[in-house]
Amino acid sequence: MSESATDKSQLDKYEQHYFSSYDHFGIHEEMLKDTSRTLSYRNAMYRNKDLFKNKIVLDVGCGTGILSMFAVKAGAKHVYSVDMSSIIGKAREIVELNGFSDKITLLQGKLEDIQLPVDSVDIIISEWMGYFLLYESMLDTVLYARDKYLVKGGLILPDKCQMFIAGIEDGQYKEEKIHYWEDVYGFDYSPFIKTAMEEPLVDTVNKQALITDSYKFFEFDINTVKKEDLAFKRPFELTSIGDDQCHAYIVYWDAIFPGKEKIVLPTGPMNHYTHWKQTVFYMDQVLELKKGDKIFGEIDARPSTINPREYDIELKWDLNIEAKDESRNQKGSYKYFLR
C-alpha cells in the first residue's frame, strides 16, 4: 500500500468543507446501512463476475473501502482506492484486517492531484451521487478519471442515470415549513418565507403523497457525458392521477449498472428507502387538480457560479385546463438554490 497526500490547505474553502464532511464516522455508517445503495453495488459486481475477472479497478471516493472489497471478491486482479478524506486511515485498517492488503492499494488525496501507480484501469467504480443526483456529487472527478485512466471499452459502475419529477400533495408540511413564518408567537416573520421557499427540502416522501405520474426529464451515459452537459434545461409533462391539490414537486433518480444482469439503484418514493431520500420543491401557489389534468413545465438546473458543487434550479409550470374549467388555470415559476 502507498499513500499520496494532498494538503487540504491547498483546497478552496468549498472543497475543504466537502471533503471534511466525509472525515466523520456517522456519514459512512449511514451509507453502509443504506442497504439499497450498498447491495445494489454488491449485486452489480457479484452477479457479473465475468466483467471483473483479472481486471484492474479504480475506486473513486472509496470511503471505508466496501466497494473495493466487493470488487476483489468479484475477481478483480487489483484495486486502486482513492479518497481525500481522513477516513481512508480506517479503510486501511479494514482492508488489512480482512486480508486484502495485497489486492487493494489505498491512496489519500484528490484524484486530480495524484498519479496512480498504473497508466490505465479496466473498470471505474464510484458512489459519487448526491442529493438531486448532482448536488455535491463527485461526478466531475469520475469524468476526469474516465478520460485519464479508463481503457477504451472499459466499464464504469454505475454507467447510466435517469432523473424524474412528480407532483405531490403536501399541504400539512407546507403549512409547517412555509406558512409558519406568517405568525411566530404573534409576530410577522414573513421575510423568512422567501428563504424557506428557496431552499429545497431533502426528505422522505410517502408514496401516497404522489398526485401526478412521474416524468423522466433528464438522462445521461457516464461513458460519454461531458461536464458541460450537467447544466441543462428540460421540459416535463405531468398528468394528475386523482382529484387533489398539488403543493410541490419532487425530484428523484435511478442509477443503472452495466452487465448481463441489469441492476438498478432507485431512489423514488415508491421504492425502498435510501439516504438520498427525495428533493422537494414547494411552489408559491397551490394547483387545484382533477384526474387527467396536465401540468406542462420546465426545469433549468446548472452548477452555481460561486461553488460548482451546488446547484441553481428554476422550475416553471403551467396548468392549462380546457375552456369549461379555465378558472383553475395557473402558471408560475420559482428559483431554488441547493446549498
Phi-psi domain of 228 (left: phi exceeds 0; alpha: psi -120 through 50; beta: other):
alpha
Class of domain 8-127: alpha beta
Asked about 136 being catalytic, the answer comes back as yes
Domain 161-338 grouped into CATH 3.40.50.10580: no
Nearest Cα residue to 160 out of 217, 218, 221 = 221
Do the beta carbons of residue 70 and residue 5 sit within 8 Å? no
**Residue 30: per-residue pLDDT:** 83
In this prediction, residue 308 carries a pLDDT of 87
DSSP annotation of 134: T
The sign of the torsion formed by the CA atoms of 91, 60, 9, 133 equals: negative
Helices and strands counted in the chain (H then E): 8, 15
17's CB contacts (< 8 A; 6+ apart) are: none
Give the number of other Cβ atoms within 10 Å of residue 327's Cβ: 8
Q: Where are the domains of the chain?
A: 8-127, 161-338
Catalytic residue among 127, 176, 228, 314: 127
CA pair distance 30, 34, nearest whole angstrom = 6
Q: Print pLDDT tens along the chain (339 aa).
A: 333 444 444 445 555 544 444 455 566 688 878 999 999 999 999 999 999 999 999 999 999 999 999 999 999 999 999 999 889 999 999 999 999 999 999 999 999 999 999 999 999 999 999 999 999 889 999 999 999 999 999 999 999 999 999 999 999 989 898 999 999 999 999 999 999 999 999 999 999 999 999 999 999 999 999 999 999 999 999 999 999 999 999 999 999 999 999 999 999 999 999 999 999 999 999 999 999 999 999 999 999 999 988 999 999 999 988 767 778 899 999 999 998
State the catalytic residue, choosing from 30, 136, 182, 228. 136
Which residue type, as a one-letter code, is found at position 132?
Answer: F
**What is the CA 119 to chain-centroid distance, rounded?**
29
Predicted local confidence at residue 126, as pLDDT: 98
How much is the CA Rg of the chain, to the nearest whole Å?
Answer: 22
Residue 21 confidence (pLDDT): 45
Q: Between the CA atoms of 198, 202, 205 and 209, what dihedral angle is there, to the nearest 10 degrees? A: 10
Whole-model pTM: value is: 0.91
Q: CA dihedral defined by 125, 313, 240, 287, rounded to 10 degrees?
A: 150
* Residues listed for the chain: 339
What is residue 89's predicted lDDT score, i.e. its pLDDT? 93
Burial (CB < 10 A; 0-12, 13-18, 19+), residue 186, is: exposed
- The grid cell for 278 is 427525495
